[in-house]
Homo-oligomer: A and B are copies of this chain.
């Protein structure tokens, strides 16, 4: 079976968490909207009567259509052994993914605290206030939490059990994104939490992930995605 991923073609965004899982699993997939005529297919797929998603990403897997990135990852985790199949590991991996999703939403709101339908420039004073709080209180709270999981009560290689899970891939992506968007803040953070850098490096070195990151399939970070580099927000 060939998976079909439906997501915006020019950004990493929430689709990237799914792409990383598909790549690590060496799954056969088409990134639909990046193909000729693909945007039309994406827009049409949002209007179907059965299982329409509120927003991309969504994944077609044979007869199934699955929306919401953490839900897609749960499914891919089951299919490709990217999470434990049984409790408590199954629920723990998903819980961590949902916490990462909360962080990602907060990252988005640093540059769009008022409305997604306005430009950044039209909400810049609010963005500066929100980003200052994000850098000062939220990044430390989230990253401190994940660092604690990787070090306490003893150092561990992976977030869940002793094998890679989709939660590790997602934490890698978050670290990469935060490095892009908040390089100053992240230098301090990574000094404080070397376990996060080590996790990031372990994921980046996995053969399938390394090949993906070096390929044209990996869309570079840019100023339309969730992680954006506005130096004035990184103080």
A interface residues with partner B (beta carbon < 8 Å): 49, 51-54, 63-68, 70-71, 74-75, 87-88, 91-92, 94-95, 98-99, 102, 105, 109, 113-115, 117-118, 123, 126, 129-130, 133, 137, 142, 145, 148-149, 152-153
Q: Give the residue name and chain of the B residue nearest to A130 (CB).
A: B114
A-B contact pairs, 24 of them (CB 8 A): A49-B152, A51-B95, A52-B145, A52-B149, A53-B95, A54-B102, A54-B145, A63-B88, A64-B87, A64-B91, A65-B88, A66-B88, A66-B95, A68-B98, A71-B94, A71-B95, A71-B98, A74-B91, A74-B94, A75-B91, A109-B113, A115-B133, A118-B133, A123-B129
Copies in the complex: 2
Q: Give the residue name and chain of the B residue nearest to A137 (CB).
A: B117
Q: Are A92 and B51 touching (Cβ within 8 A)?
A: yes
In the assembled complex, the CB of A187 is this many whole angstroms from the nearest CB of chain B, namely: 23
